[in-house]
């Protein structure tokens, strides 16, 4: 019988890799708290309508990538492909509209049925923040600044570039969309099949197509900045001025877009050249129409999400776990006392590896294998004196230490 394997597109996070993931999540959590963002979590599945309404019934995610299931009671649920919609749903269903502005941080697994690639799995993990109820460009600046600070504290910011664009307000976007559709209709034969399909659903997505034929057509497309009204120009200028004031460098990318109508104004991505085709490690923007799309009142929002796997791949080797103290009973009669001593040491904040079985040689070999700094040897003679032998596993020097002084003596090895 063959050994069972993980499902395609999923990945076990064994201890070495999990340390990298924890490093990303823990640093991001601590940094987000400095900006006032509180950690929250939503269920990993929602009623499918949450995502169909927000991502669009005809979007690639809804049509091709969502994991959707019919429940016994006939309800249809979906494993979350992203978390912004879930956060907004939580705000609405939780009756939190009177508590604005709301500032949330999240971390957890998402699910999309895509072709697995380096840095892209079918179960993947993201961190993100959402700022709800702030219409001013200052909110966009703070959201970007928080993301930049997280990357900086992880040692990743210097290896990234921030790309920035404006989608304008709803009025500007509507005018630009019409001009874009007219332009692309004149080049239908030159567009890829995917882009011809997008022309009827979300033509702005053609602007960030990776297809070479599409890129040649896009090069001659109308530029968004020529369609921005005065309010949109002022908003984007304020965002850029805020980033300049904070010393956050950026590059303008007119092809950086979001396809759905509730996105507006700022769109941004932090990218790297170190991951090949999967070059975006953090992306976000303003979504002032999302809450209304989900049945709530008109409300501004802005946020970002970042892939934990991609960030973890870029990290320098994080520190390993603390080197433990090995507690080694010598003889069966001392095992009960060894168990109690190990528990006492752990409660004092000392990492302990308990020798479970085998003779003294095998237990010490296990201690060396796990990188133990010292060993506490408990024989019947030592326990009769209420003492233990402490052996420095690096020098081999050992001494008899009373049990009462054991915590203090072992603290020197931490």
SS3 string of 32-45?
HHHCCCEECCCCCE
- What is the pLDDT tens value at each position of the chain, 414 positions in all? 788 999 999 999 999 899 999 999 999 999 999 999 999 999 999 999 999 988 876 677 877 899 999 988 889 999 999 999 999 999 999 999 999 999 999 999 999 998 888 778 999 999 999 999 999 999 999 999 999 999 999 999 999 999 999 999 989 888 888 888 888 888 888 888 888 888 877 788 788 788 888 888 888 888 888 889 999 999 999 999 999 999 999 999 988 888 677 889 999 999 999 887 778 999 999 999 999 999 999 999 999 999 999 999 999 888 888 899 999 998 878 999 999 999 999 999 999 999 888 888 888 899 999 999 999 999 999 889 999 999 999 999 999 999 999 999 998 887
Give the whole-angstrom CA distance, residue 410 versus residue 375. 9
Give the whole-angstrom CA distance, residue 120 versus residue 123. 8
In-domain check, residue 204:
no
Give the whole-angstrom CA distance, residue 172 versus residue 170. 6
Q: What is the pLDDT of residue 196?
A: 86
- Contact at 8 Å (CB) between 384 and 358? no
Q: What is the pLDDT of residue 57?
A: 67
In-domain check, residue 96:
yes
The DSSP string of 234-266 is HHHHHHHHHHHHHT---EE-TT----STT-EEE
* Domain's final residue, options 262, 280, 314: 314
- What CATH number does the domain containing 387 carry? 3.40.50.800
In-domain check, residue 195:
no
Give the whole-angstrom CA distance, residue 24 versus residue 109. 14
Residues 331, 307 share a domain:
no
Residues 159, 249 share a domain:
yes
Residues 391, 264 share a domain:
no
H-type helices in 73-118, by residue range?
84-93
In-domain check, residue 370:
yes
Instruction: Report the DSSP beta bridge partners of residue 227.
Output: none
Residues 402, 350 share a domain:
yes
Cβ-based burial of 98 (10 A; exposed 0-12, middle 13-18, buried ≥19): exposed
Q: What is the pLDDT of residue 194?
A: 83
Element containing residue 301 per DSSP (H, E): strand 301-307
In-domain check, residue 117:
yes
* Domain's final residue, options 294, 314, 334: 314
Q: What is the pLDDT of residue 100?
A: 95
Residues in CB range of 12: below 8 A, 6 or more apart? 6
How many structural domains are present in the chain?
A: 2
* Domain's final residue, options 314, 343, 358: 314
Q: What is the pLDDT of residue 135?
A: 97
- What CATH number does the domain containing 130 carry? 3.30.930.10
Residues 156, 94 share a domain:
yes
In-domain check, residue 105:
yes
In-domain check, residue 208:
no
Residues 401, 253 share a domain:
no
Residues 331, 309 share a domain:
no
68-70 and 45-47 strand pairing: unpaired
Instruction: Give the number of C-alpha atoms closer than 13 A to the C-alpha of residue 208, restricted to the C-beta side.
Output: 16
Q: Which residues of 395-413 are buried (b: 16+ CB within 10 A; e: fewer)?
A: eeeeeebebeebbeebeeb
Structure tokens belonging to residue 385: 């004196």
The whole model's pTM is what? 0.90
Residues 348, 407 share a domain:
yes
Residues 263, 134 share a domain:
yes
- Contact at 8 Å (CB) between 168 and 264? yes
In-domain check, residue 207:
no
Q: Which of 115, 111, 102, 58 is nearest to 83 (CA)?
A: 111
Residues 388, 329 share a domain:
yes
Residues 331, 264 share a domain:
no
Residues 156, 278 share a domain:
yes
Give the whole-angstrom CA distance, residue 256 versus residue 247. 22
Give me the domain span that covers residue 130. 15-169+229-314
């Amino acid at each position: 019988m063959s050994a069972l394997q993980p499902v395609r597109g999923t990945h076990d996070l064994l201890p070495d890799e999990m340390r990298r993931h924890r490093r990303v999540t823990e640093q991001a959590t601590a940094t987000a708290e400095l900006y006032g963002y509180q950690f929250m979590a939503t269920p990993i599945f929602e009623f499918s309508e949450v995502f169909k309404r927000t991502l669009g019934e005809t979007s690639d995610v809804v049509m091709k990538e969502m994991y959707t299931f019919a429940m016994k009671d006939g309800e249809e649920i979906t494993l979350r492909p992203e978390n912004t919609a879930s956060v907004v749903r939580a705000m609405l269903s939780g009756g939190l509209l009177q508590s604005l502005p709301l500032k949330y941080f999240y971390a957890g697994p998402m699910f999309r049925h895509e072709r697995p690639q380096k840095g892209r799995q079918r179960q993947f993990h993201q961190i993100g923040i959402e700022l709800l109820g702030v219409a001013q460009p200052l909110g966009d600046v703070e959201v970007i600044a928080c993301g930049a600070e997280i990357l900086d504290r992880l040692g990743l910011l210097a290896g990234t570039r921030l790309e920035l664009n404006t989608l304008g307000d709803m009025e500007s976007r509507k005018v630009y969309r019409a001009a874009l559709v007219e332009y692309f209709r004149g080049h239908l034969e030159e567009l890829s099949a995917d882009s011809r399909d997008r022309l009827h659903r979300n033509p702005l997505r053609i602007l960030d197509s990776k297809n070479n034929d599409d890129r040649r057509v896009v090069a001659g497309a109308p530029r968004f900045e020529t369609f921005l009204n005065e309010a949109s120009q002022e908003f984007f200028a304020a965002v850029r001025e805020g980033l300049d004031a904070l010393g956050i460098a950026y590059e303008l990318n007119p092809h950086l877009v979001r396809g759905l109508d509730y996105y507006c104004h700022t769109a941004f991505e932090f990218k790297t050249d170190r991951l090949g085709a999967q070059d975006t490690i953090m992306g976000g923007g303003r979504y002032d129409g999302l809450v209304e799309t989900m049945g709530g009142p008109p409300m501004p929002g802005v946020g970002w999400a970042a892939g934990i796997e991609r960030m973890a791949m870029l990290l320098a080797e994080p520190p390993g776990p603390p080197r433990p103290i090995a507690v080694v009973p010598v003889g069966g009669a001392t095992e009960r006392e060894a168990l109690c001593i190990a528990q006492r040491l752990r409660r004092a904040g000392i990492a302990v590896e308990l020798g479970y079985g085998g003779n003294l040689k095998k237990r010490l070999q296990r201690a060396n294998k796990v990188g133990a700094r010292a060993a506490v040897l408990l024989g019947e003679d030592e326990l009769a004196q209420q003492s233990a032998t402490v052996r420095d596993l690096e020098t081999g020097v050992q001494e008899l230490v009373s049990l009462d002084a054991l915590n203090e003596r072992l603290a020197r090895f931490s």
